[in-house]
Structure 1
Amino acid sequence: MTMADDTLEFDPVCLDHVRLGARPLAVFDIDDVVLQFLVPFEAYLTSLGLRLIPRSFRLHGNILASATEEALPDDEVSALILSFFEAQERWQTPFAEAVEVLHDLARTADVVFLTAMPPVYAIQRRRLLDRLQLDFPLIATESPKGPVVARLHGGRPLPVAFVDDMVRNLSSVGTHVPDCLLLHMMPESEMHRHAPQAEGLALRARDWREAERILAAHFLVD
């Protein structure tokens, strides 16, 4: 639930490790799209004597000390998010059917992961993804996602799709890659009920099988 501000100056991201073929491109966010984030993060907080309350679609201001019921200061919440990224390999698991669907899609399209997290934690994420047999290229950045997808796609005359749970990221990619199919995908939870919706901006997929059908149709039509 962290996100980059698209008004910030874009910090170039290295894409040299990504090799695309003459095929459609499917770019996926990871947290709460491919891998569960909120559920394991809540379990992580519980292990520390903390709890998350779903008053809004924010982590800051909504994490309490269980013993006192007092909200943690923002700097402590930020530190908790980073410590969770450090420990992610012990907590995060894929959503149902995500691994199977991604491998099915990879038969006809290039799959790339674009995750919004400090690049210093990319090593842990890479190990976790590899253990799950999700060995697709990984880009970890705190920069806005639109310019990254634009550079990655490079204006090729091939279908491109972007899947994310955050409306702000979908909007960023839609602005920078106008011909990109935008797919909004987020889990069902009390907190996600507070999340901005993507009506008029993106299609909605409620699970991985629905996402697969939408992406397959887009790649075939285009």
Structure 2
Amino acid sequence: MIEPVIETLRHSRKPLLVSDIDEVVLDFLDPFQDYLQSENHWLNATSFRLNGNILSTVDDAPASPEMVDNFQERFFEGQDRWQRPSPGAHHALNLIARHADIVFLTAMPPRHSAVRRQLLDRHALHFPMIATEEAKGPVVRDLIGGRGVPAAFIDDIFYNLHSVRENAPECLLVNMMSNATFRALAPEPGHGIAKAENWQQAATMILDHFGVDVHL
């Protein structure tokens, strides 16, 4: 639910970082490939998409869109057995948290939010989390709430970044993806969006935007 998170931020004058989770805070593609192996399938990294690239280990037949959806559903049901923090995420987020509020915004069915919350807490990533399948731009706009604080948004998917650019143009926008193979296949994120290859680069950009001089 977004309302309780907005309420906690209402009187804050700290800068705000809103961060995606999959492929940003938590590795997704590598663990998902491990999961697919358990289902006798594998991910063929030939383009920046899942549909058409998930193949049977028996005969390389592509999984149908319905099967891809089912794989993702079952993966998220058991994500706490597969996913782990992305390299550098814990250190960078805790450093940023000394100077800013942090909110996780994940494009995941809310029915899986309890499992994800437990997974994040297990790794001492206790920041507030919103799970939604709605567009991210309006959510980020509401989180900023007209407080006039510096804000940043980090995500691996360009249309989420575009949504925030349209709804919260004052935000620093950072495109980052943990998996280097799929990062190389990703389309260019577009005008006004910075690119980071890792959390050290991202944190430097974010803290600089917040006016904080920190050597990582």
Which among 182, 188, 192 is matched to residue 197 of structure 1? 188
* Cα drift, residue 37 of structure 1: 0.2
**Which secondary structure does the structure 2 equivalent of 1:16 belong to?**
helix
Q: Which has the higher helix share?
A: 2
* Cα drift, residue 121 of structure 1: 0.2
| Residue pair 2:86, 2:178 contacting (<8 A) in 1 also | no
Which among 5, 16, 28 is matched to residue 4 of structure 2? 16
**Which secondary structure does the structure 2 equivalent of 1:190 belong to?**
helix
Within 5 A, what are the aligned runs for 1:1-222? 14-18=2-6, 19-20=8-9, 21-220=12-211
* Cα drift, residue 105 of structure 1: 0.6
Structure 1 stretches of 4+ moved >4 Å? none
**Which residue pairs with 1:8 in the alignment?**
none
**Which secondary structure does the structure 2 equivalent of 1:33 belong to?**
coil
Gaps of 5+ in 1: 1-12
* Cα drift, residue 143 of structure 1: 0.4
Counterpart CA distance in 1 for 2:92 and 2:183 is 23
Counterpart CA distance in 2 for 1:128 and 1:42 is 19
* Cα drift, residue 202 of structure 1: 0.6
After superposition, the C-alpha distances for 1:175-205 in whole angstroms (9 at most, x for unaligned) are: 0001111011112433332211124231111
Query: C-alpha root-mean-square deviation of aligned residues, in Å?
Result: 1.3
After superposition, the C-alpha distances for 1:107-153 in whole angstroms (9 at most, x for unaligned) are: 11000000000000000000000000000000000000000101111
Counterpart CA distance in 1 for 2:180 and 2:97 is 29
Amino acid at match of 1:195: A
* Count of aligned residue pairs for this structure pair: 209
Counterpart CA distance in 1 for 2:138 and 2:88 is 29
Counterpart CA distance in 1 for 2:176 and 2:3 is 25
Counterpart CA distance in 1 for 2:115 and 2:188 is 31
**Which secondary structure does the structure 1 equivalent of 2:23 belong to?**
coil
- CA 1:179–1:17 in 2, change beyond 3 Å: closer, same or farther? closer
Counterpart CA distance in 1 for 2:77 and 2:124 is 20
Counterpart CA distance in 1 for 2:106 and 2:178 is 17
After superposition, the C-alpha distances for 1:35-89 in whole angstroms (9 at most, x for unaligned) are: 0000000011011111111121111111111102101110111011011000100
Counterpart CA distance in 2 for 1:100 and 1:62 is 33
Gaps of 5+ in 2: none
The normalised TM-score by structure 2 is 0.93
Amino acid at match of 2:171: C
The normalised TM-score by structure 1 is 0.91
- Greater shift in the superposed pair: 145-154 or 184-193: 184-193
Counterpart CA distance in 2 for 1:126 and 1:188 is 22
Counterpart CA distance in 2 for 1:129 and 1:118 is 16
- Greater shift in the superposed pair: 172-181 or 189-198: 189-198
* Cα drift, residue 155 of structure 1: 1.8
